[in-house]
Each structure stands twice: as structure tokens, then as C-alpha cells.
Chain A
Amino acid sequence: MPRIVSITLQNTDDARPIIAAITADNPGARINAMPGIVKIDRDDSLTVRRASVEDRLGRVWDPQEIHLSIVSMAGNLDEDDDYFNLSWS
């Protein structure tokens, strides 16, 4: 059985570019919309890339800004200046 990692973000103007970046960068990601939130699941790992969010946002974006939009997550987290990654080892 694949291990599922997951990130849930608010469905807001701040979060939509992040959701779009995740969708583009993580083939096979499954997007589940619920009222007010979007839950994104993927087998084994999922990455939010700073450059990819910045392309969509049109400004500098610090991956820690994800703190303003995140609702929940599942997986081991690795966070640095250029990415935010969830995976099972």
C-alpha cells in the first residue's frame, strides 16, 4: 500500500498560487476540494517549490509564508529556504 502524504490549505487568494504550484510540480497529486479548504494527497512525497510559487505570485515568496495558509499535513517535514517537502521515509 502506498504511503500517502497530504497537505491541506485554505481555499483563499493567498493559498491558490501555492495550490497551483503544487499541482504543477507534483504529478499524480490528488486534489480534494472541501468547503473552505483544499486537501492535496500524493503517494510517498510532495514538494512545494519557492520558485514555482513565485512564478505564479509575481513576487518574492518565503516558503515559511505557508504558515499563513496551512490547515493540516501528514508526512515527515523537511523545510528550507527554497522548498517545503513532505515525505515518508
Chain B
Amino acid sequence: MNAPLKLGLKQRYSLLTSGLDWTPSYQPFEKIYPYAEFEGIKIHDWSKWEDPFRLTMDAYWKFQAEKERKLYAVLDSFAQNNGQMNLSDVRYVNALKLFLTGVSPLEYQAHRGFAHVGRHVPGVGPRIAAQMQSLDELRHVQTQVHTLSHYNKFFDGFSEFRHMHDRVWYLSVPKSFFDDARTAGPFEYFIAIGFAFEYVLTNLLFVPFMSGAAYNGDLATVTFGFSAQSDESRHMTLGIEVIKFLLEQDPGNLPIVQKWVDKWFWRGHRVLGLVAMMMDYMLPKKIMSWREAWEIYFTEAGGSLFEDLARYGLKVPKYADVATAEADHLSHQNWATFYQYCHAAGFHTWLPSAEEMDWLSEKYPTTFDKYYRPRFEMWAEMEKEGKRFYNNALPQLCSVCQIPMVYTEHGDHGATSFRVSDYKGEKYHTCSDGCKDIFDGEPEKYSQAWLPVHQIFQGNCGGAGLEDVLKWYKLNLGADNLQQAGSPDQKLWDEWMAAKDKVAG
């Protein structure tokens, strides 16, 4: 007999998924899968789904357990050895605050979203992949909260991350992104999160930023970052499989999928503006600029990807050229905004030092000196005169991305980019052609958005005064907010460094 002793990987995986499904007899199919058809996606043969990562359940648990063992050994060591004292600089901790309040809750949303999709997609292969991804995402939020809880023992701004995520004005940007995806149908969710976010954009969040954590002495964050990212590669292949599968199944799917790709690319690009600012302004020791990361992970990697998908008729996302041009401005405009509003933020800001500004000039030769350096230098002068500038006006927000209308016009960086749509007798404002297209595509959805500034004016956020609103955010005034200089975080850090100097003699 010539039978193989062990089944091959492809056979094992096929045995895991095939035959797992059955034809229902007690209930009609459409009652079991009520969301399968309303988006207009047509699937003729679910068995054509091919999972590129053929991970069987036993292998999944084995590898995930191994990842956890490695991660928790590092976290334990980091805490035991006071790793927080070995950071490059205390300013770095503010990037972690933004990460915990803005990004980690999205991992939980992704967990919920994939659990929902895993239930409602009528195909076995994607159901199993979605189930694994749902578990991965839960693991990510848990490991991130565990890791950053160590920082919470010493630094401000961490303790109310979950409460803040649901209320604080700038956190509505990432929150509404995921709320939007999760309230879409299952196929749109798959394209939004699996393809546009995971495949096209998350590299920009997790790869250079985590490499930056490594460079800035944050052993703990590097370890959870790369532990999460090891799952991410599997998620990326799910994203690319989803899009290929939908496009192969029916030519009628192309225009629907293209519209989702355009929408979610632009939504993702707007959310990642926070990461642009973290990389260019918040990492004390810098790895690469946002512009360079965009070149590598969008222009180069995305270029190859969309060339590959062109065989199905899929085009590069609309406004990709605008996003690429904006990469020269994004981080500067965002940091300038947080500088003006950090009295209402859960982390500290500062002005870039002379050396940092030189680095920015070098990395952004066409924009930094022309548009942004003069502004930072003026603010530095004002600080010297004791007139530190805080902007006390509540900004107008974009009805789609929910970012204050701070961006400039594509091609005219002296003008605010501003669009208006009319819907049922009301005016709705958006920050760009990308966001306006999204609003106009689904005005009924976006006209109901919970916009933080509108909610403050309507009296739904704790009161009319700034202090009332900040209390409603559970911001600990004078500790969580305001400038880095003079903060309790800075004071503690200076004491640690002075003690080190004393030992060094």
C-alpha cells in the first residue's frame, strides 16, 4: 500500500472546511442569512473560495498559544525591570496614550465585526477565516490593554481609555470609522476592514510605528505590536481573497466593490492622519517620515496590488492621487491642530525643537519651510512671551470623517478645503471631495452622525463650559491635558533622569 502517512496541508485544510456546511431544511436559507443579499453582491459558488493561509484549528491554537507565551514573558520582564525608565524620552508616552484611546478599542470593534460577519456570510471558508480573525482581534485588544496598563501605573491619560473612546472629540474619528463599517452589510465590512484597512493601510500603522517603538526603547509595545502583526498577515490574505472572490463570482459585483474600495480607502486615509502625526512629531527618535512610509506602503506596495487586481477591472481607489499629495501636509496640519487644542485632549503636545524642525525640512522639502515652520516658530515666540496659544473656538467638523475642517485645498494650501451638500433641507459640510462623495452616496446614514461639536452645542456633553465637557470626558484636568512642559508626567520623568545622573556621578 502506498498511502501517505500524513495528510498534506492542502488536504487537511480542505477536510476542515468541506462538508462543514449543509442545506437547511427547517428554515428557509434567507431567514438564516438575512443580510446576504441586500447589498447586491452575487455569489454563485461558495466552494470556489480558497483560503491562502491554510491554518487548521489545531495549528491555530498551537501558534497563538506560542505567541502569547512569548509576549507575556516580555511584558513581565519589562514590568519587573522598570522598562519605562529606558524610553528615549517621556514625550514618547503620549503616542501610547493616543494608541490606547484611539486604536485599541478598534481592535475590539474588529472582533465584534468579524464575529458578526462570520455568522452572516453564507460560505464555509470565509466563515472560518472570519472566526479566526475575530478571535485574533480580541487577543489584540487584550494584549494591548495588558501592555499599556504598566504605563498607567506611572503616567496620566491612560486610565479612562474606554470611556474616552466613546466621548472625546478627536476619538470620534477612529470610533466613527469602525461604527460606519460595522453598520454596513457583511460584504462591505469585509471590503472595508479586510481589504481596504488590513491589506492596503494597516502596514502604515503597525510596521513603521512599531519599528519606531523598538527604536525608542519601548520593548513592551514592540512586542505586542509585532505579535498582533503576525496575525495581521493572515488578515491581509483574507482581505485580498475576499476581493478576488467577489470579483470572480459575478461581473455585476465590480461597480459595488469599486465604490467600497474608493470609500474605505479614503476613510482609512483620514483615520491614519493620526499615525502620520505620531510618526513625524511624537516619536523622539524617528524611523522614517510619514511621506516615506506612504511611498513604501501605499505607492509601491499598493501600486503592485492594484496592478494585479486590474485584471478584474478594479481601479486604483479614487483620490489616491490626492491622498499621496496630502502626505506632504497631513502630519503638520494634524500636529498644529492638537497643539492648539491640547487643553481639551487626553495627551500632551509640544513644539518641535530646532533639530526636529531641521529633520522635517529635510523630509518635507517642498512644504515644511514654506507652510509650517513659520507657524511653529511664531508659536515658540508666543510661548517665550508667556502667551502660549490655545484655540478656544469649537471647530466645525466634517460630517463624514469627523475631523475638524483644518485641511487645505488640494493645490492651494492657503485655502481651507470645504465642501457642502444639501440633504432634506439641511446643509452638511465635508472636508474634501473624498468625504463629500461618501456623504452624497449615503446621505441618510451620515446625516445621523454623532458629531462631537454638534453634541456639545446641543447640551449633550456635560454642560456648556469647556471644563464641564472635559469632566464629562473624565479628563483629569491639569494632569491628562495641556502641554508636555510642566505636566506631572514630565516632572516624574525629570526626577528619574536626575536620579540616574546622580548615580552616574
Residues of chain A whose beta carbon lies under 8 Å from any beta carbon of chain B: 1, 3-6, 8, 10, 34-37, 39, 64-65, 67-81, 88-89
B232 to chain A: closest residue by CB = A72
Contact A72 B9 (CB under 8 A): no
Please measure, in the bound complex, the distance between the C-alpha atom of A25 and the C-alpha atom of B153, giving whole angstroms.
48
Contact B229 A34 (CB under 8 A): no
Task: Looking at the assembled complex, report how far the CB atom of B279 sits from the nearest CB atom of chain A, in whole angstroms.
Answer: 13
Q: Check if B287 is an interface residue, CB within 8 A of chain A.
A: yes
Please measure, in the bound complex, the distance between the C-alpha atom of A79 and the C-alpha atom of B13, giving whole angstroms.
11
Contact of B52 among A37, A65, A77, A81 (CB under 8 A): A77
Contact B230 A36 (CB under 8 A): no
Contact B55 A71 (CB under 8 A): no
Contact A88 B211 (CB under 8 A): no
Contact A3 B66 (CB under 8 A): no
Task: Looking at the assembled complex, report how far the CB atom of B139 sits from the nearest CB atom of chain A, in whole angstroms.
Answer: 13
| Besides A37-B207, A37-B211, A67-B55, 11 new A-B residue pairs in contact (Cβ under 8 A), listed by A number | A37-B226, A64-B59, A67-B230, A69-B230, A71-B233, A72-B203, A74-B305, A76-B240, A77-B237, A81-B8, A89-B308
What's the dominant secondary structure at chain A's contact region?
A: strand
B56 to chain A: closest residue by CB = A64
Known contacts A70-B230, A81-B9: A34-B53 contact under CB 8 Å: no
Q: How many contacts between A and B, using CB within 8 angstroms?
A: 97
Contact of A35 among B234, B287, B307 (CB under 8 A): B287
Please measure, in the bound complex, the distance between the C-alpha atom of A78 and the C-alpha atom of B311, giving whole angstroms.
19
Contact A35 B215 (CB under 8 A): yes
Task: Looking at the assembled complex, report how far the CB atom of A78 sits from the nearest CB atom of chain B, in whole angstroms.
Answer: 7
Contact B207 A72 (CB under 8 A): yes
Residues of chain B whose beta carbon lies under 8 Å from any beta carbon of chain A: 8-10, 52-55, 59, 63, 66-67, 70, 203, 206-208, 210-215, 222, 226, 229-230, 232-234, 236-237, 240, 287-288, 300-301, 303-305, 307-308, 311
Contact A64 B55 (CB under 8 A): yes
Contact A3 B9 (CB under 8 A): no
Known contacts A4-B300, A35-B215, A71-B226: A80-B8 contact under CB 8 Å: yes
Task: Looking at the assembled complex, report how far the CB atom of B293 sits from the nearest CB atom of chain A, in whole angstroms.
Answer: 11
Contact B63 A4 (CB under 8 A): no
Residues in B with CB closer than 8 Å to A72 are: 203, 206-207, 229, 232-233, 236
B70 to chain A: closest residue by CB = A68
Contact A68 B66 (CB under 8 A): yes
Known contacts A73-B236, A77-B53, A77-B237: A35-B211 contact under CB 8 Å: yes
Task: Looking at the assembled complex, report how far the CB atom of A49 sits from the nearest CB atom of chain B, in whole angstroms.
Answer: 15
Residues in A with CB closer than 8 Å to B63 are: 64-65, 67-68
Known contacts A68-B230, A77-B52: A4-B304 contact under CB 8 Å: yes
Known contacts A35-B215, A68-B230: A74-B304 contact under CB 8 Å: yes
Please measure, in the bound complex, the distance between the C-alpha atom of A76 and the C-alpha atom of B308, giving whole angstroms.
9
Task: Looking at the assembled complex, report how far the CB atom of A32 sits from the nearest CB atom of chain B, in whole angstroms.
Answer: 9
Contact A76 B287 (CB under 8 A): no
Contact A36 B211 (CB under 8 A): yes
Please measure, in the bound complex, the distance between the C-alpha atom of A78 and the C-alpha atom of B300, giving whole angstroms.
22
Contact B301 A74 (CB under 8 A): yes
Contact A79 B9 (CB under 8 A): yes
Residues in A with CB closer than 8 Å to B55 are: 64, 67
Please measure, in the bound complex, the distance between the C-alpha atom of A31 and the C-alpha atom of B54, giving whole angstroms.
27
> A-B pairs with the 7 shortest C-beta distances?
A36-B214, A77-B52, A3-B304, A35-B215, A35-B214, A34-B211, A74-B301
Residues in A with CB closer than 8 Å to B233 are: 67, 70-73
Contact A6 B301 (CB under 8 A): yes
Residues in A with CB closer than 8 Å to B210 are: 36-37, 71
**Among A5, A36, A68, A80, which residue has the most Cβ atoms of chain B within 10 A?**
A36
Known contacts A3-B308, A74-B305: A80-B9 contact under CB 8 Å: yes
